[in-house]
Structure 1
Amino acid sequence: MKNARLKVIYSETFSDLKLFYRDTNLPDNLIANYKPGQIIQEKGFTDMTSIGGGLSENFRYLIASANAKDLSKFNPESAKMGHFLLDTIAYFKVLDIQKIDNKTQVFLLNIPDNSLTLFKNSTSNLEEQITEKARKKFSDKINLALVPELQTEDWKERTKLPIGMSDNGELFFDDSKIKIESLKRIEINTAKKTIEVNKNPWWKIW
């Protein structure tokens, strides 16, 4: 993969990155389908909220995305729920799975569909940094007061299904088909505005 293309992919993925929440109840056998480093695909629209309150269900998706659509621009009611949407056929990398007592958070990074091999075969310090923030958000928010606008039947209906699989646990995408290469460590130096891979400088990204 050429440096210019890598620059575009990392800019598209991490520039303007925001965190979103989606809570539901999932049985243990579905939760067990998620593995750190896994690439998953969601076929349908992904409804999520920018408002992070307490967790009333047993499971939370924390989703990092730079591509979510703000539906409050089209519907004032959506503003009350902090309603954002990802289009159909969205891809994610599972960055982390965290469990506190009987509640679980899976942290997903929304990635471009042309970058599956790259993200399957690499890790980066940026991924580690946002994962650390995700873990802190879960521990800080898990017992906060519930957000009433996110407890409605309509919202729970929108967010009840698992991401990346059917409601019986069949994964929509088999990431074992992605070509496996040697795992690369990508260092992104935001202070110097350069990207380094294995401590060898590559390109300016911002």
Structure 2
Amino acid sequence: MKNARIKAIYNETFSGLKLFYRDTDLPDHLISNYKIGQIIQEKGFTDMSSMGGGLSGNTRYLIASAHPKDLSKFNPDSAKIGHFLLDTIAYFKVLDIQKIENKTQVFLLNIPDNSISLFKNSSSNLEEEITEKAQKKFKDKIHLALVPELQTADWKERTKSPLGMNDNGELFFDDSKIKIESPKRIEINTEKKTIEVDKKPWWKIW
């Protein structure tokens, strides 16, 4: 992949990135389908909230995304629950899986559909930095009170399904079919506004 393409993908993925919450109850055999570094695809719409309190189920999807739709702009009731939506056929990289007591957090990075190979075959300091933040949020929020607005039957129905698979645990996308390439290490220096691929600086990112 050309350097200019990597720059464009990273700008699209990380510029304006925010964290969103989606809680549900999942059996262990579904949770165990997730692996760190895995690429998954969600076929349906992904409902999520900008409001994060205690976990209302045994599983939390913490979703990092730069391009969700803010439904409060179209529906005043959506503002009460911080309702954001990702379109159908969304791709994610599983950055981290944390478990404390009987609660599990699956940390997902929403990635462009034309970047699957890059994110499968690379790691970056930006991924590591947001993963550290995700782990801290999980520890800080796990014992907090639930957000009352997110306990309605309607919201629980919207968020009950697992992401990236059906209720039987069959994955919608087989990431083993992604072409394996030499792993890339991507380093972003936000102060100097530079990017390095495998420690070889080649231009400024901004």
Global fold match (TM > 0.5): yes
In the alignment, residue 184 of structure 2 is paired with which amino acid? K
- Which position in structure 2 is the counterpart of 1:106? 106
Deviation string, structure 1 residues 68-116 (Cα, Å, up to 9, x no partner): 0000000000000000000000000000000000000000000000000
List runs of 5+ in structure 1 lacking aligned partners. none
List runs of 5+ in structure 2 lacking aligned partners. none
- Which position in structure 2 is the counterpart of 1:194? 194
* Residues in 1 aligned to 2:81 and 2:26: alpha-carbon distance in whole angstroms: 22
Deviation string, structure 1 residues 174-204 (Cα, Å, up to 9, x no partner): 0000001121111111110010112211222
SS in 1 for 2:149: helix
In the alignment, residue 67 of structure 1 is paired with which amino acid? H
In the alignment, residue 66 of structure 1 is paired with which amino acid? A
- Which position in structure 1 is the counterpart of 2:39? 39
In the alignment, residue 9 of structure 1 is paired with which amino acid? I
* Residues in 1 aligned to 2:160 and 2:56: alpha-carbon distance in whole angstroms: 13
- Which position in structure 1 is the counterpart of 2:149? 149
SS in 2 for 1:51: coil
* Residues in 1 aligned to 2:85 and 2:56: alpha-carbon distance in whole angstroms: 21
Q: CA deviation at 1:5?
A: 1.1
CA contact (8 A) 1:7 1:203 kept: no
Please report the RMSD computed on the Cα atoms of aligned residues, expressed in angstroms: 0.6
* Residues in 2 aligned to 1:202 and 1:161: alpha-carbon distance in whole angstroms: 43
The count of aligned residue pairs is 206
After superposing on structure 2, the runs of 4+ consecutive aligned residues of structure 1 that deviate more than 4 Å are: none
Deviation string, structure 1 residues 146-177 (Cα, Å, up to 9, x no partner): 11110000000000000000011000000000
SS in 2 for 1:185: strand
* Residues in 2 aligned to 1:13 and 1:204: alpha-carbon distance in whole angstroms: 17
Q: What percentage of aligned pairs have identical amino acids?
A: 84
* Residues in 2 aligned to 1:133 and 1:9: alpha-carbon distance in whole angstroms: 22
TM-score of the superposed pair, with normalisation by structure 1: 0.99
Q: CA deviation at 1:3?
A: 1.2
Residues 71-82 of structure 1: pairs in structure 2 closer than 5 A: 71-82=71-82
* Residues in 2 aligned to 1:34 and 1:80: alpha-carbon distance in whole angstroms: 31
SS in 1 for 2:169: coil
